[in-house]
Amino acid sequence: MALLEVTDLHTRFRTDDGIVKAVSGVSFELDRGKTLGVVGESGSGKSVTFLTLMGLVDRRHAEVSGSVRFDGEELLGASGSRLQKIRGRRIGMIFQDPMTSLNPVKRIGWQLEEAVLLHHDVTRDEARRRAVEILKEVEIPRADARIDDYPHQFSGGMRQRVMIAMALINNPEVLIADEPTTALDVTTQAQILRLMTNLQQEHEMAIVMITHDLGVVAELADHVAVMYGGRVVEQAKVDDLFVKPEMPYTWGLLGSLPRLDITAARLEQIPGQPPSLLHPPPGCAFNPRCAYAFDRCREELPELRAGAGVVGEGHRFRCHLSDDERARIWEAKKAALQAEGSAA
């Protein structure tokens, strides 16, 4: 049994303008010690999926349905106090912006100790010892001195490390990281990613890496889910997704990425804008931007399916194009990319 099983999760927000379908039928599984990369653009529902799963959406304005099973226990509809026992203890979360997720008027140490005291019956001294230990683990230099600093005395990369320390201080089984490196420089990003993989191996922790950066996913993830318009549009093992993506949006994402290893005179661009979740287009959410869309795409939502000739276990995607046609289009794209790569 998977550690985390999400089945047919829906989140809808009631707003003055109508109902925003932020998440529509997302399902995935995550095993212990594995990393799931969740890729998508802003508004694809990737963050809301995990806020819902953690019980962090405001239920007064949101309708939530589906099932989230964590270690066999249903989380949707669980009581607030039950969720509090799990959040921060067994499931840790790192938010994107390290500048705004720390309390600016409390010392780093105090904020870390609080996380321990909330879940364990220990003295403040013991909590402090644990806080120094975890700061050392995330490679903050002179941790025992810096623990009494305020967040503004830390650089961006160090603050992000403190956020990781806070999420890890209770040894969670699942770590949900929402764009943990987006605000950082490449060199700092490389440090943080290396740190996360080391800690994962040490603690056999499962990681959900929410990001818009396919490069980060390629480096870190075991499985990938590509989200678009509130739905998972393709999911696969990381190698399968990059070797043979099966759906036009994923092709577009890979083609629009400027890369160090491939020289393209011109990036492939996906025309238009991501869809409005208030008035999503009928049929496949990607159809208005898809170069291969035909009538059926505009009428009928494609199921998440496995195709004939699709290698890779668990590789599923949403697309009405026939298997032959997809194979033909991808072969042509791949050949074009390779021609450019060798020209370079």
Partner 1 sequence: MSELLVVEDLQKYFPVTRGLIFQKEVGQVKAVDGVSFTVEKGQTLGVVGESGCGKSTMARCLARLLEPTGGKITFDGREITHLNRSDMRPVRRDMMMVFQDPYASLNARKRVGSIVGEPLEVHGIGTDQDRKRRVQELLEIVGLNPEHYNRFPHEFSGGQRQRIGIARALVINPKLVICDEPVSALDVSVQAQILNLLKDLQQDFDLTYIFIAHDLNVVRHVSDRVMVMYLGKPVETAAKQDLYTDAKHPYTGALLSAVPIADPSAGRARKQIVLTGDVPSPLNPPAACRFHPRCPRFVDGKCNVDEPELTAASGNPDHRFACHFPLERWPMDEDEIRRKPAAYAAATD
- Site residues (vs partner 1, CB under 8 A): 41-42, 141, 155-158, 185-191, 193-194, 212-219, 238-239, 242, 252-261, 264, 266-271, 273-274
Shortest CB 156 distance to partner 1, Å:
7
The residue (of 41 and 144) whose beta carbon lies closer to partner 1 is 41
Phi then psi for residue 124, to 5 deg, are: -65, -35
The residue (of 68 and 158) whose beta carbon lies closer to partner 1 is 158
Closest of 192, 1, 205 to residue 96, by C-alpha:
192
The rounded distance, in Å, linking the Cα atoms of 35 and 176 is 10
The residue (of 75 and 319) whose beta carbon lies closer to partner 1 is 319
Residue 262, judged by CB atoms within 10 A of its CB (0-12, 13-18, 19+), counts as: middle
Shortest CB 146 distance to partner 1, Å:
13
Neighbours of 300 (CB within 10 A): 12
The residue (of 54 and 247) whose beta carbon lies closer to partner 1 is 247
The rounded distance, in Å, linking the Cα atoms of 256 and 253 is 5
Shortest CB 336 distance to partner 1, Å:
15
Closest of 256, 230, 238, 234 to residue 246, by C-alpha:
234
Residue 196's identity, in one-letter code, is M
For the chain, what's the residue count? 344
The DSSP secondary-structure symbol of 181 reads T
Shortest CB 84 distance to partner 1, Å:
34
Q: Determine the 3-state secondary structure of 192 from DSSP.
A: helix
Q: According to the 3-state scheme, what is the secondary structure of 220-287? A: HCCEEEEEECCEEEEEEEHHHHHHCCCCHHHHHHHHCCCCCCCCCCCCCCCCCCCCCCCCCCCCCCCH
The residue (of 149 and 213) whose beta carbon lies closer to partner 1 is 213
The residue (of 147 and 214) whose beta carbon lies closer to partner 1 is 214
The rounded distance, in Å, linking the Cα atoms of 226 and 218 is 13
The rounded distance, in Å, linking the Cα atoms of 191 and 141 is 14
The residue (of 86 and 224) whose beta carbon lies closer to partner 1 is 224
Closest of 230, 322, 241 to residue 281, by C-alpha:
230
The residue (of 42 and 79) whose beta carbon lies closer to partner 1 is 42
Closest of 282, 295, 341 to residue 321, by C-alpha:
295
The residue (of 86 and 177) whose beta carbon lies closer to partner 1 is 177
Shortest CB 35 distance to partner 1, Å:
12
Shortest CB 266 distance to partner 1, Å:
6
Residues 6 or more apart in contact with residue 273 via CB below 8 angstroms: none
Shortest CB 116 distance to partner 1, Å:
27
Shortest CB 288 distance to partner 1, Å:
13
Residue whose tokens read 């409390």: 106
Shortest CB 226 distance to partner 1, Å:
12
